[in-house]
Amino acid sequence: MSTVDERLDGVAFNTDGLVPAIVQQHDTRDVLMMAWMNREALRLTLTTGRAVYWSRSRGELWRKGDTSGHTQRVIGVRVDCDADTVLLEVDQVGAACHTGTRTCFDADGEYTDRDLNPVTGDA
Amino acid sequence: MSTVDERLDGVAFNTDGLVPAIVQQHDTRDVLMMAWMNREALRLTLTTGRAVYWSRSRGELWRKGDTSGHTQRVIGVRVDCDADTVLLEVDQVGAACHTGTRTCFDADGEYTDRDLNPVTGDA
């Protein structure tokens, strides 16, 4: 069994030292959000069982829920085939999105089947 | 109803002109993969109903399945709260991953609950 440091060595952080983390609710399997992690954020996520991210706008670590109370308990963490993307399975308390919706994909940005069809669309 | 161009104008592509696209199987809700799209890839995805991505390594558009036969029929496309991430619901034919596994997150990169616990871990 490898140490946390050995595991972190296997992750392909990008030139900014970050990996995208896809966050999925473990039971409903809703995709809740996407955020970024640096090595320290991933280490804290792996070792504390609470999801921690890197805020690119604020330039600091943020532990999900510290301000909002909407914590994420980490159930599983995987990396993808080329180790440059992380998938977190979590148990989300309340809203995952800062707008107050359960997921960050609940907004008006949803397209319908019809919109994908160039024949029935208006593009 | 907005045109495809108006919708594309609402997407916050990054400084490289790209957005990350999270790809989810519509029925099992497995997260299959993550890839990148530029404006043209997203336009083609929206207007043809087949998932098209931008290959950062090859510097070209790639329509999923053209080489492997493992196509993705697009069922729904959403953007997140700040419009800088795309969520695709697809119907995946065969393996989503170029390694031949159903998802790109099937590899040895899977961590277990125990590994997240610093008390029982070996870090």
Choice between A112 and B78, residue whose per-residue pLDDT is larger:
B78
Q: What is the pLDDT of residues A28-41, one digit of tens each?
A: 999 999 999 999 99
Closest among B61, B81, B111, B57 to A14, alpha carbons compared: B57
Q: What is the ipTM of this complex?
A: 0.88
pLDDT at B92: 97
Choice between B116 and A44, residue whose per-residue pLDDT is larger:
A44
- Top residue of A78, A86, A88, A117 to mutate, by most chain B CBs within 10 Å, is A78
For A5, which residue in chain B has the nearest alpha carbon? B123
DSSP chain B: ---HHHHHHTS---TTS-EEEEEEETTT--EEEEEEE-HHHHHHHHHHSB-EEEETTTTEEEETTTTTS--EEEEEEEE-TTS--EEEEEEE-S-SSTTSSSSTT-STT---GGGG-TTTS--
- Top residue of B31, B50, B53, B106 to mutate, by most chain A CBs within 10 Å, is B31
Q: Mark yes or no for CB contact B109/A3 under 8 Å.
A: no
Q: What is the pLDDT of residues B1-40, one digit of tens each?
A: 678 898 899 999 999 999 999 999 999 999 999 999 999 9
Token look-up 């609710």 returns: A25
Phi, psi of B29 (to 5 degrees): 70, 15
Q: Band of the pLDDT at A108, cuts 50, 70, 90?
A: low
Q: If you average pLDDT over residues A60-87, what whole number do you get?
A: 95
Q: Cβ(B109)–Cβ(A12) under 8 Å?
A: no
Determine the distance in angstroms separating the CA of A104 from the nearest CA of chain B, rounded to an integer.
5
Q: Cβ(B95)–Cβ(B68) under 8 Å?
A: yes
Q: What percent of chain B has pLDDT over 70?
A: 85
CA dist B99 and B25 (Å) reads 18
Q: Cβ(A92)–Cβ(A104) under 8 Å?
A: no
Q: Mark yes or no for CB contact B113/A76 under 8 Å.
A: yes
Q: How far is CA A78 from the centre of its chain?
A: 11
Q: Does residue B123 carry a pLDDT above 50?
A: no
Q: What is the pLDDT of residues B38-94, one digit of tens each?
A: 999 999 999 999 999 999 999 999 999 999 999 999 999 999 999 999 999 999 999
- Within 8 A of A4 by CB-CB distance, chain B residues are 115, 121, 123
Q: Which residues contact B81 (CB under 8 A, 6 or more apart)?
A: A97, A98, A99, A101, A104, A105, A107
pTM over 0.80: yes
- Within 8 A of A1 by CB-CB distance, chain B residues are 115, 122
Q: Which amino acid type is present at position B81?
A: C
Closest among A33, A14, A15 to A24, alpha carbons compared: A33
